[in-house]
Amino acid sequence: MSGTVAMHSVFVYGSLMADDVVRLLLNRIPLTASATLPDFHRFSIKGRVYPAILPAKSDKVSGKVLFGITDHELNVLDEFEDIEYERENVQVLLTDSSDEKLQTKTYVWAKKDDPDLYGTWDFEEWKQLHMEGFLKMTREFAEELNLPKSEI
């Protein structure tokens, strides 16, 4: 068996755009690049502080790609996103490098006809209103997974 480790890239568009959230989960900040996911829409969800994405023609979702994600880290992200999301392969445009296309993974809302989805989720508003509480929840989640404690 070879010692190579499979590396993944993951397009993130909600709370995982915040370095502090990623650091709590992965105990590091991976390399990132700004990216856009075409033909998807980022919804707010009633009663939740995080967003959902679903396919939507002629719309797009801005976010970023996390690079160099290991199998273990991908499993951590899978656990964090839980069963409400399905990990799917998508093609994004890297906005830092003249719209280079990249095949990557992302988390799509599993309930396609969810009546609780509405409007458009806003990252800056989330940072102001919800990030502090979300970091507390994320820290507790990370501790339950017995991840190494990160220095914040």
> Using CA atoms in the order 32, 35, 41, 42, what is the torsion angle rounded to 10 degrees?
30
Q: Which residue has the tokens 């995982």?
A: 16
The tokens for 28 are: 């590091």
Name beta bridge partners: 12.
Answer: 64
Is 79 among the residues known to form the active site?
no
DSSP letter at 149 equals P
* Catalytic entry in 81, 100, 143, 144: 81
For residues 26 and 36, give the distance between their C-alpha atoms in angstroms, rounded to a whole number: 23
Looking at the annotation, which residues are catalytic?
81
